[in-house]
Amino acid sequence: MTTNLKCAYCNCEVNLGEKSKEHVFPKGLGGDDTCMNCVCAKCNNSFSNIEGQLLQNSIVGLMRSAEGVKGRSKNKARPASLKHQTFYFDEENKIVYEAGVYSGLKSYIRPQFIKIGDNIYIEGDLQKEREIFEKMFKNWKSEKNLIMVTKFHQNQKEEKSYDSVKFYLRGNKYVANKIEPSKKAEQLTDEEVTHYSLMKHHDKFKEHFQPRIYLDDSDYNNLKLNVRSRNLEEGIQFVIDLLNYCNQEGASFRSYSEKKRANPGIFALTKFDEAMVRRALVKIGLNALMYYYPETQYNSLLKPAKDFVLKGTSRIGFVFDTKSSIADTRQDTHLVLFHQSENGLYIRMRLFGGHFNCQFLIEGLQLPLKQGEFSVLEVDFKKEKQKHYTQQEFILKIIEGSNECLPPVSGMN
């Protein structure tokens, strides 16, 4: 059912029947299920890209993992996982494995077929995950079109296509042909795999790096098979070797690392798009503002900040900030502060007890607050609860919390 409700970001009509509910504070940072219905499905989908950079690739993602914030993850074994390119280096055997990092910065070996010397082995810390991985590989192998995506393209009309390699049997041996970028990315199926080359940031592994196909479980609701190698040609040859081996009668895989791995080392590449991280942070602040002060939703003074979120355009005075005493509350909370000033409204965010701070200004915007006053959205990311406080309520809360820590006075009940 279409309503006359307009999207607060792009001004398009919002169809409440679509997936248009936008969380006021991200579930991935421990927010609750409070949603706003003034965001259209298109904007909601676009926000997933910029928010992913913040929650899974940036320093905020590292903090999130260290604190064990689960968010929407249904992966009970690997909550709060990171999307960082992460490797486990077995120093003794000089082997580089695909690894992952999750709650509390714990590490694990992802399920993978990996070439070591002239042989191919299967690795992975959990039997259940290896079984999922093997099933996905068998499903891909049973497909008539064995496709490996090698490169994605996007034109000015935001239409996506991709280069790929197709594997097929010639006689009793597999071979590969490169395919021109004629298919649209929307035609991809879940069974197709994607190739990634070893990034230059990890050149120190190049000597020991062997090709592999592994289970990308960074999004447990959307598991994928990826191939990684030092270059595309090496990756293609590895897939051919793997398919030919699987085509042999009685083919089976064993683990190379059945013995205990010695001298482990985990190396994570923290590489992210800072511009997208800034846009995601501004979006969080705007969502909170528009929800707790709904009269601001369509205020024209918010347009520069909204354009910044949608397109990265406009200058809004965004800065990464230092720790502030007002934010020195419990370590298991985030704060979004709305601080009224003579110049307009400052929106200040204090994440993870004030260990990550930023702010931006909505010039000229006046809330029903006196100059110098503030209100606060407090998010308890451990309990996944959030509440908006007036300045007086918040100060009383801090005082009461401090009193709870004091010893009882002698002679008092």
Q: How confident is the model at residue 228 (pLDDT cuts 50, 70, 90)?
A: very high
User: pLDDT at position 367, please?
Assistant: 96
User: Which residues neighbour 13 within 8 Å (Cβ) at sequence distance 6 or greater?
Assistant: 2, 3, 4, 5, 6, 7, 40
Please compute the mean of the pLDDT values over residues 5-24 and round it to a whole number.
82
Res 280 pLDDT > 50: yes
Q: How confident is the model at residue 215 (pLDDT cuts 50, 70, 90)?
A: very high
Higher pLDDT, 144 or 353: 353
Res 222 pLDDT > 90: no
Res 2 pLDDT > 50: no
Q: How confident is the model at residue 363 (pLDDT cuts 50, 70, 90)?
A: very high
Please compute the mean of the pLDDT values over residues 227-248 and round it to a whole number.
95
- Answer for the pair 295, 340: CB distance below 8 angstroms, yes or no: no
Res 114 pLDDT > 80: yes
Q: In the chain, pLDDT over 90 holds for what percent of residues?
A: 49
How would you list the strands of the sheet with 344-351, edge to edge? Answer: 319-320, 356-363, 344-351, 333-340, 374-380, 385-390
Q: How confident is the model at residue 269 (pLDDT cuts 50, 70, 90)?
A: low
Please compute the mean of the pLDDT values over residues 238-264 and round it to a whole number.
79
**Rounded to an integer, what distance in angstroms lies between the CA atom of residue 223 and that of residue 121?**
21
**Rounded to an integer, what distance in angstroms lies between the CA atom of residue 124 and that of residue 133?**
9
User: pLDDT at position 48, please?
Assistant: 85
Higher pLDDT, 105 or 337: 337
Q: How confident is the model at residue 69 (pLDDT cuts 50, 70, 90)?
A: confident
> How do residues 316-346 score in pLDDT, each as one tens digit?
889 987 665 554 557 889 999 999 999 999 9
- 299-307 contacts: CB < 8 A, separation 24 or more? 299/365, 301/344, 301/362, 301/363, 301/364, 301/365, 302/362, 302/365, 304/363, 305/360, 305/362, 306/8, 306/9
User: pLDDT at position 407, please?
Assistant: 52
Task: Return mean pLDDT, the chain.
Answer: 83
Res 25 pLDDT > 90: yes
Three-state SS sequence of 246-304:
HCCCCCCCCCCCCCCCCCCCEEEECCCCHHHHHHHHHHHHHHHHHHHCHHHCCCHHHHH
User: pLDDT at position 186, please?
Assistant: 45
- The phi, psi pair for 95, rounded to 5°, reads -120, 135
**Rounded to an integer, what distance in angstroms lies between the CA atom of residue 164 and that of residue 283?**
36
Q: How confident is the model at residue 278 (pLDDT cuts 50, 70, 90)?
A: very high
User: pLDDT at position 346, please?
Assistant: 96
Ordered by start, the domain boundaries in the chain are 2-62+273-403, 116-251
User: pLDDT at position 320, please?
Assistant: 87
Please compute the mean of the pLDDT values over residues 59-88 and round it to a whole number.
74
Res 292 pLDDT > 80: yes
Handedness of CA 77, 82, 83, 84 (dihedral sign): negative
Mean pLDDT lowest among 55-59, 118-122, 140-144: 55-59
